Amino acid sequence: MAKRTEEVSKSNAPVGSPFSRMLTLDQVEEVLNLGKPLVYALVRSGELRAAQFGGRGVWRVREDDLAAYIDAAFAKTAERIAAGQISEGDTSAED
């Protein structure tokens, strides 16, 4: 996964471009290591900012928006840990 994540995070945009790289939902799935239904649910709920382009099912997420979502998830988790809302059982390893 590390190799794929590095590939996704490399920007092909020209230096100084005002646009961040656009990722497919499949690429977002790979970066977050989540299944398609959860990624679509995040987009539908607005928790993960995305836009639909062209035809049906052509969704893209800006790299910057994915990074912001990840940062927010870490901050929210830290707050929950500090507030004692996450128990030992909630931190078990998932496959």
pLDDT interval class at 93 (50, 70, 90): low
pLDDT, tens digit (0-9, with 9 covering 90-100), for 51-74: 999 878 799 999 999 999 999 999
Residue 36 has pLDDT above 80, yes or no: yes
pLDDT interval class at 5 (50, 70, 90): very low
Q: Residue 63: which of 14, 16, 13 has the closest Cα? A: 13
Residue 39 has pLDDT above 80, yes or no: yes
- Please spell the DSSP secondary structure of 17-86, one letter per residue: -SSPPEE-HHHHHHHHT--HHHHHHHHHHTSS--EE-SSTT-EEEEHHHHHHHHHHHHHHHHHHHHTT-S
- CA–CA dist 32, 16 (Å, integer): 27
Residue 92 has pLDDT above 90, yes or no: no
pLDDT, tens digit (0-9, with 9 covering 90-100), for 12-35: 555 666 788 999 999 999 999 999
